[in-house]
Homo-oligomer: A and B are copies of this chain.
Amino acid sequence: MDRKQEILKAAAKTFSLYGYKATSVDQIAREASVGKGTIYTFFANKEDLFQAIVLSTIEEMKQQAVRVLDPSATPAENAHKALIKMLEFRETHQLLARLIEEERATKSKAVYDMMQQVEKAIVEFIEQRLSRALPDLETDPKLLAYLLYKSYVAFVVEWNQLYEQPLDEKTISQFFHQSLFKGL
Contacts and interface: CB of A to CB of B under 8 A. Distances in A.
B162 A154 contact: no
B162 A151 contact: no
Contacts of A104: 107
A150 B180 CA distance: 13
A159 B119 CA distance: 12
Looking at chain A's contact residues, is the secondary structure mostly helix, strand, loop, or mixed? helix
A168 interface: no
Nearest to A139: B178
A179 interface: yes
A142 to B, nearest CB: 9
Q: Interface size bucket, A side?
A: 20 to 34
B178 A180 contact: no
Contact of A180 (B140, B162, B180): B180
A25 B161 CA distance: 30
A183 interface: yes
A45 B104 CA distance: 28
A50 to B, nearest CB: 20
A68 interface: no
A143 interface: yes
A175 interface: yes
A161 B138 CA distance: 26
The 5 closest A-B pairs by CB, nearest first: A150-B154, A182-B183, A139-B178, A143-B175, A182-B182
